[in-house]
Amino acid sequence: MLRRTFLRTALALPACGAFGHFERLTAADRGKVKITDIKMKPVSALAHTLVRIDTDAGLSGYGESGVSGAMMKAWRERYAPLLIGQDPLAIQVHFHRMSTLMHPYMARIPALSGIDMALWDLAGRLSGRPVYQLLGGPFRDRVPMFINTQPRDMLDRAAVREWAAKLREDPMGFKAVKIDAARPAGRPSGRYTTTLSNQELRKIRTAFENVRQELGPDYDIMVHCHNEFDLPSAVGIARAVEPIEPTWLEDPLPVPFSESWISLKRAARVPLLTGEKLEMPHGFYPFLQHQAVDYIYPDIAFCGGLTGIVKIATLAALWRIPVATHNVGGILLTMASIHFGLAIHDFLTSETRLGSTREILAMAKNPPEVLGGSAGIPEGAGLGVELDDAGVRRLQRPEDPPEWV
């Protein structure tokens, strides 16, 4: 089968799967409501923007986009004419029209993502169903989650011991942690850097061995990079952390696919993961086609919203590659990740910002319950949370308007 034929066939699969389920559950409500406006509220502490879609029925849907307020404002001007006056339940039509824009500018997928998320929340509110049901779930009773956290000095055994003790005392009970690999080597995170020396690789090895020693075998450890390393360094990191049996090595190479990912996969004896900066199914396709990673890691606020991530997950399922979700956003992205985690079979785990701040829970009047390092099935229609304006304000900066604009 030709590559383009295979890809076209793969991307058509969701229409007869999860989205067909959505069409059946919302059929009675189609054509009864129109979109009247799109509002936004920047949350600059998260580098995200909340989106609200209003209707003539008095109901609104809420989403979270992976762009700043200034970018969302500009792209709202491009997307609003495609949506206002239309049926909000025609989500596939809206997704197609927004994502295929070419002129005068190509579509901005992270801005689209927040709108798409809001449409799914609105669809749930209109139909009286939670999003995970509209997507065909649930496949599980709870959604596993992990946090970003690490000792102030991973090379100091006392500091690692102190950090591990605090982690065990956390009432939310997280048993999986993601830890940055650049910091023990003294390299800047998230910036292209030169080849790591053997001395730096030994520091990384010692740092992660210290963490494993203090946490023991019952904790999952993810090794976190930010696409900053070259191939020799990526191979070196994979070999350095192999003794601790990490859950995965994340993003050691630059974001776009290259054959260096294939070389790394051949050389590494630890699972590989990428995807937080990839958009739409075509961004993930070469990694899946070449089996260059063990897991993929889309961000719902960045990759194309809930519609986009379901298409991505359907493509990944052809190779039985599990999906984890990247999430360093607020309560709406957290809830979207939970619903998605309930809705697909090959789901692994979801990141949460709760390791660095609990303020995101204050963004909702009815935040999710997180116990034992996992979230339960949300109650209520749509995404299942009601925003708390005062809580949202805690994560805004002085220049962010407190009202919807």
The pLDDT tens digits of the residues spanning 119-143 come to 999 999 999 999 999 999 999 999 9
Mean pLDDT of 196-220: 98
Instruction: In whole angstroms, give the CA distance from residue 96 to residue 283.
Output: 17
pLDDT of res. 2: 53
Residue 339 confidence (pLDDT) above 70: yes
pLDDT of res. 21: 83
Listed range (4-8, 240-244, 371-375, 396-400) with the worst mean pLDDT: 4-8
Phi, psi of 353 (to 5 degrees): -80, 5
Mean pLDDT of 80-108: 97
Q: In this predicted model, what pLDDT tens digit does every residue of 95-124 receive, in sequence order?
A: 999 999 999 999 999 999 999 999 999 999
Percent of the chain with pLDDT over 90: 95
Q: Which residue has the tokens 């003539």?
A: 56
Q: Is the pTM of this model over 0.85?
A: yes
**Helical packing angle, 280-289 and 305-317, nearest 10°:** 20
pLDDT of res. 3: 54
Q: Which CATH superfamily is domain 3-133 in?
A: Enolase-like, N-terminal domain (3.30.390.10)
Confidence class of residue 13 from pLDDT cuts 50, 70 and 90?
very low
pLDDT of res. 73: 98
Alpha helices per DSSP H over 170-304: 182-185, 198-215, 231-241, 259-267, 280-289
Residue 352 confidence (pLDDT) above 80: yes
Mean pLDDT of 268-275: 98
Residue 203 confidence (pLDDT) above 50: yes
**Helical packing angle, 91-99 and 305-317, nearest 10°:** 90
pLDDT of res. 9: 47
Q: How many CB atoms lie within 10 A of CB 320?
A: 8
> In the chain, where are the structural domains located?
3-133, 139-387
In the chain, the amino acid numbered 338 is: I
pLDDT of res. 199: 98
Residue 32 confidence (pLDDT) above 60: yes
Mean pLDDT of 276-303: 98
CATH of domain 139-387: 3.20.20.120
Q: Strands 323-325 and 347-352: what pairing?
A: parallel
Residue 11 confidence (pLDDT) above 50: no
pLDDT of res. 5: 53
pLDDT of res. 20: 84
pLDDT of res. 16: 45
Q: How many helices (H) and strands (E) does the chain have?
A: 15, 13
Percent of the chain with pLDDT over 70: 96
At residue 61, the 3 state secondary structure works out as strand
**What is the average pLDDT value for the chain, to the nearest integer?**
95
Q: In this predicted model, what pLDDT tens digit does every residue of 155-183 receive, in sequence order?
A: 999 999 999 999 999 999 999 999 999 99
In the chain, the amino acid numbered 34 is: K
